[in-house]
Every structure is written in C-alpha cells, then in structure tokens.
Structure 1
C-alpha cells in the first residue's frame, strides 16, 4: 500500500474516505465501497464499531451504535471482506480492544486474500506498536500525528510509518463542526517536510474549501463524519454526488 499511495501522490491529491462498516447493514457495504472507488478514493477506511470510541465524535459514535443494532461484529465484517473485490486498498480503523481481543495473528490470517492492507488503531501508542507490528506481515500499521506533537516527536513517528501519515487537524474528536487552528498549515507543512510517505489531513474536513486549503500543504485529505452522516440521511447514490461536490 505504501508504494501504491506514494506513487499516486506524485501525480494527484489523495482522497481517503472513512465509513462505519455496517452502519447501514453489512449487506450494503459492497455498494458503499464501489461508490467510494467511483468517486476517486485512493484507499478506504472502514470503521470497526466499538463501545467506547474515544477518538470519535457524535456522528461516528451514532453510526457505531447503528452497526451494533445490525449485529455487526469484527468476525462478520471479515467474512464480508473475504467476498469483496475492492479496486483500492482497504484499511480497518478500530480500537485496541477489538483487535487484541480477536487476536492479531488470527486477524491477519483471516484477512489474507482480502483487500485489507492497513490498520489504524488510534488508542495504540507508538511505544506499544510492537504489540501488533511483528504479526502484521504485509499489513501496514498507519500512524497518527497529533497537533500537540513537537518536532522531535513528529520525526520519530514518521520514521517507520507505512501507508500514509494521518495528520490530525484538531485537538479532540472527529466531527464536521470544527474550528481549525490559525497555525495549522504551518504544522502540516512541518509534518510533510520530514515524511517520505504521503501526509493526509483528517478530522473535521467537511467542505470543499477545507479540502482546497489542506491540499496546499498536504498530499490529500481524509473525510469521515460528513460521509457517514450523508450515508445515513441520503443513501449511497446521493452521498456519491455530495463527495463529487467536495473533492
């Protein structure tokens, strides 16, 4: 995945959407993935529902609850992913408890042959990444870089990072109603300057002007809550039309 995204970023800005897997039922997941690919997704993040999603705002929390109502589990999600043929890499985004309780070794074995090429675990500190990395094989563990990370820490975080750098644009949780710091572009430029792989801005990006602003200094954006909300309110087709207006 690292090579694919790095090469792609040399000629175009990257768009990585996030959706909550199974929020509309797992039967709808193949259609949602196909729509996101059609709208130009370079990779797709699939949220794994969890009972205490500390990094997620109200929109994604509500989507996780809907997924639970549809009786979505990590095991059921993997079974669906084993039948899906995605044209772009898929990334599972979830919390430590979900993956470690399942078992990293078993997870990797069952993901073999799927299009899952990365994991994002927001509550797994960099210092504890060795709890997962030795078992992951070809699956990348993507790294988040926060606004509060000093330059020395940023260099440490990006040194061994894979896939892309997820540059968090707010202090706090995900959501569409965010106020971005005045010096945010300078911070993102600092991350970009020391990273050998694409840097994508994420959290709170919901409008075209956000995308255009962050693309000045980053290789692309991650959009989640806006898409999750639209899928719930408008369905797959109209969400595709919305994405086309933003990207």
Structure 2
C-alpha cells in the first residue's frame, strides 16, 4: 500500500480541520446544501464529460494511488539476465518452460520462443504499452475533470447564496451568517480539488509513468534475449535504465 497518498490526503484535511477547530470551531463550516451543490454538481458534470463505464473504471484506477507499489527494476533485470543465460545456453525454445511471474515479460518471452520476427515482437509489446498509457490517461482525466469542476460548482454555490442573501436584505443581522454560508461552497470546492482530485490525478500519472518505464526495460530485455546477447552485456544494457545508485555491484 502507498502510505504517502493516504498520509498526504489525511494530513492535508487534518491541518485544515485543525486550523478551523482552533479558530471559530467546526460547526460554522458544516453546511449540507453547500456540500450537496459541490459534491452533486461535480459528479453530475463528470457524468456529462465521460461515459458511464469510464467513470466506473476510474474508481479502479484511483485505487492504484493507494495500493500500487513501485516496481523493483533491479529484480526485473536479474530475472531477464537469467532468461538471457538460459536462451544462450539451451536455445530460445527452452524459454517456453521458463517460470516468469510478470505477465508482460512472459508474453514477450513466449513470442521469442515461438520464433516470431524481432520487429513483430517489438511492435506487439510497444502496442501494449501504448494502449496501457491510453487506458491510464482516461482514468487520470476523470480526476482532472473533477478537480476542475469542484471549484466551479463552489463558485456557483456561492452565487446562489449571495442571491438568497440579497433577497433578505431587510434583515441586516442575517447578512453576516448568510455571507459565511455562501462562501462555504467555494471553500468545499477548493479543498476537494486541491487536496483530493488534482493530487490523485498527478499520483496516477506518476504511477503510469513508472509502469511504462518498467515495461520499456522488459521490451529492451526481450529484444536482447532474442538477439542472443551475452548475459553480461544484457546486464550492462539494462542497468543503463537505472540511476547509478540503483545499479547492482559488479
């Protein structure tokens, strides 16, 4: 589980709630109509912007911000080196029996073992990466859309509150409290956008980049295996993807 995402959201909300509690108290910052305008309006706009299946799919994508772990590139490289050694000593056909945990690497190795042409192997694997990025971008765009809409509906709620306040100008004593309630929707929208939706969209983008980078290592490794390169050369080739501090000791 990615503790950073959960810790970031909880600490952001906690600091805001704590600051409010130390001031005038939480009671004045709770207004159900304002919550309904921001929450309901944001969801309604999201359903207009995206198909129903994309919105539902974004829930699954969003969980990656909390559950996904950063891949271990060095462990992957060591596994590819072993496969390269097997393919060089026993032939590429022997790779069919190799135990490979990663689905993407297993598919690439099987293509090689089946005798597929190098350009076909690379094309198939790079196509999968491209469509993976496309699927991820759709999920990210839902959260970006919600991040854009939440402040907008906060402003709409504020305008509604101001109109209602102006309609009751005959009672000057109610103006202050009415103005406070009117501003709460802007507050809710800003918090939802900047503490939850936009940060999650950025985290999902980073997760997608990590996965694409991991898969790029696999593509390069599979091509090296197919070319029959020396395992030592494969190691040097793949460790070029890593920062110097992450490279295995020679």
For the aligned pair, the TM-score class normalised by the smaller chain equals: under 0.3
Higher relative contact order (CA 8 A, sep 6+): 2
Structure whose alpha-carbon radius of gyration is higher: 2
TM-score by length of 2: 0.25
Q: TM-score, normalised by structure 1?
A: 0.25
More strand by proportion, 1 or 2? Answer: 1
